[in-house]
Amino acid sequence: MTSRRRWARNALVGALVLVAGWGTAGWLVVGAPDAVAAESTLRTLAAARGLRIGSAVNAVPLRQEKGYRDKLRYEFNGVTPENAMKWSQVEPVPGQYAWDDADAIVDFAEQSGQMVRGHPLVWHSALPEWLTSGSFTDEQLRAILKQHIEDMTTRYAGRVGAWDVVNEAFNEDGTLRPSIWLDRLGSGYIADAFRWARAADPAAKLYINDFNAEWTNPKSDALYALVRDLRAQGVPVDGVGFQTHVTTNSALSQLKATLARFAGLGIDVAVTELDVRMPLPADDTKLTTQATVYRRAIDACLAVARCVSLTVWGFTDAHSWVPGAVPGWGAADLLDESLQPKPAYTSVHDGLAARDFTGTAVAVQSGRCLDVPNSTATGGVQLQQYGCNSTGAQRFVYNRVGTKTYTITNAQNALCVTVANGSTGNGAAVLQSPCAGLAQQKFELYKVVGSDQDYKLAATHSGKCLRVQDDSTADFARIEQWPCQTDPAAPSKQVWRLTAAPGHP
């Protein structure tokens, strides 16, 4: 099957899963849940936000536990093999690959309409003994690494959507981590790995992935500088993954800024291995704190348009890596050992479901704000632009009423932005009036490519965009509707900067 046909089939399966469900025998049951019920899972909520929500997958319970498979299928639209693609697992004997676990995960993902994130191609750890203890020349070692990357990426070309090409390349002080690759091949191994992966599978997105880079520190700065320099050299780095293995003591207060900083390099960013561990035993206070940290992570990703995915490193405490690796700690996942949702699950669910926001709307072509004249609380007053200030006359509440569709209410007087008389004509006044759920009070938000906060606001009843009358840059200029501007020579016309808009409305 060609990759184009395979992905088309996956898209269809994914869509059917969202609206149909799965029967007890694992077969698709068309017409099971309705649209409202379907939207209650993490994957459907994430899909509506243009976000991929994923989980690391353990091949053993995937094979043996129906409950594990069901939760993975229902709740996530992305998967990452936890161990099954690590070099020591897939090639324990030189030249003899053990594909069973990796194939099982990829097959499951295809059947469930999920994207696979391959993990990892190059790492200092989880290497087979024959490689680390072998007497290879530097040239032979380079050839072995190249062959491994090519074997992995070509086998899953068209089936793996993204790869963690280089994993954990840095020390905490920002220096490159000593490894068989750095020590024997030099720092150029990183660029080589990306080039080899791109040549083997041109369609897959290629990431560098690391931990403890979620805030400003020497490691984060060094990672930023490396990605910037590699891209300047034409090395195909498509994104940066931030593992985000944290504790209940972690504030994650800089995650949003970090994601935005790296996205400014023109790349995608992703939270790739999120879990929030706590000292055992768990209690209500710790679980509540954990939920807050998970919510900060999802909110940070949702606030940055180029944060394309958030992956948890396992979804149930029954199969968590944490207790074995960090004695005395655990309970790090969204579901408990019985696959029941914890407060952390509810927190992530609520974060994905949240659409409403409050802020100012700045006309990009003038730098002035959408404004209610004289702060009036009466209906029928045409809106205007005016120099931005901190008054309630310029604060608006955006309430989601449909896919990318909102009512816009002035925060001060609770009146709705409305196209006068439901007119479809050019130049119809945009005013405020009592909210009544009318079509002329609903607006679709069309994101401007390349910006987290710039949108066109199109009235749903007319399909026409809000603009400043005559594209004026003056105070008091009135707001009206006009055919949506498509002229690339005037990109700022009709564009509004919604200061509090999430990156994924």
pLDDT in tens, 381-415: 999 999 999 899 999 999 999 888 999 999 999 99
pLDDT given at position 311: 98
Q: What is the pLDDT of residues 350-360, one digit of tens each?
A: 999 998 999 99
Give the range among 3-12, 18-27, 233-242 with minimum mean pLDDT: 18-27
Look at residue 52 and tell me whether its pLDDT is greater than 90: yes
Residue 377 belongs to domain with CATH number: 2.80.10.50
Predicted pLDDT of residue 379:
85
pLDDT score of 87: 98
Residue 466: pLDDT over 60: yes
Mean pLDDT rounded to a whole number for the chain: 91
**96 secondary structure, DSSP code:** B
pLDDT at residue 2, as a whole number: 38
Query: Is 336 inside any structural domain?
Result: no
- Would you place residue 21 in the very low, low, confident or very high pLDDT band (cuts 50, 70, 90)? very low
Asked if the structure places residue 424 within a domain, the reply is yes
Task: Dump pLDDT digits (tens) for 358-383.
Answer: 999 999 999 999 999 986 777 899 99
Residue where a domain stops, chosen among 186, 218, 240: 240
Identify the band that residue 343 occupies on the pLDDT scale cut at 50, 70 and 90. Answer: very high
Whether the per-residue pLDDT at 20 is higher than 80: the answer is: no
Does the CA dihedral 310-179-324-120 come out positive or negative? positive
Could you tell me the pLDDT band of residue 276, with boundaries at 50, 70 and 90? very high
Q: Where are the alpha helices (DSSP H) in 156-283?
A: 180-185, 189-200, 218-232, 255-263
* Number of domains the chain contains: 2
pLDDT of residue 63 exceeding 70, the answer is yes
Q: Which of 359, 394, 358 is nearest to 374 (CA)?
A: 394
Q: Give residue 412's domain range.
A: 357-498
27-40 residues labelled b (16+ CB within 10 A) or e (exposed): eeeeeebeeeebbe
Give the per-residue SS3 of 352-373. Answer: HHCCCEEECEEECCCCEEEECH
Residue 89 belongs to some domain of the structure? no
pLDDT score of 30: 27
The domain boundary residue, chosen from 224, 240, 256: 240
pTM: 0.84
Structural domain contains residue 448: yes
Residues 494 and 365 in one domain: yes
Domain membership flag for residue 469: yes
| Per-residue model confidence as pLDDT tens digits over 490-502 | 778 899 999 888 8
What pLDDT score does 51 carry?
95
The residues annotated as belonging to the active site are: 168, 273
DSSP string, 333-346: SSB-TTSPBPHHHH
Mean predicted confidence (pLDDT) in 15-44? 42
Q: Which residues contact 75 (CB under 8 A, 6 or more apart)?
A: 41, 42, 43, 53, 55, 315
Residue at 307 is within a domain: no
233 and 363 inside one domain = no
Reduce the DSSP state of residue 295 to 3 states and report it. helix
Quick: pLDDT tens for 413-449.
999 999 999 999 999 999 999 999 999 999 999 988 8
- Domain boundary among the residues 210, 225, 240 is at 240
- Asked, for residue 319, whether it belongs to a domain, the answer is no
Give domain status of residue 428, yes or no.
yes
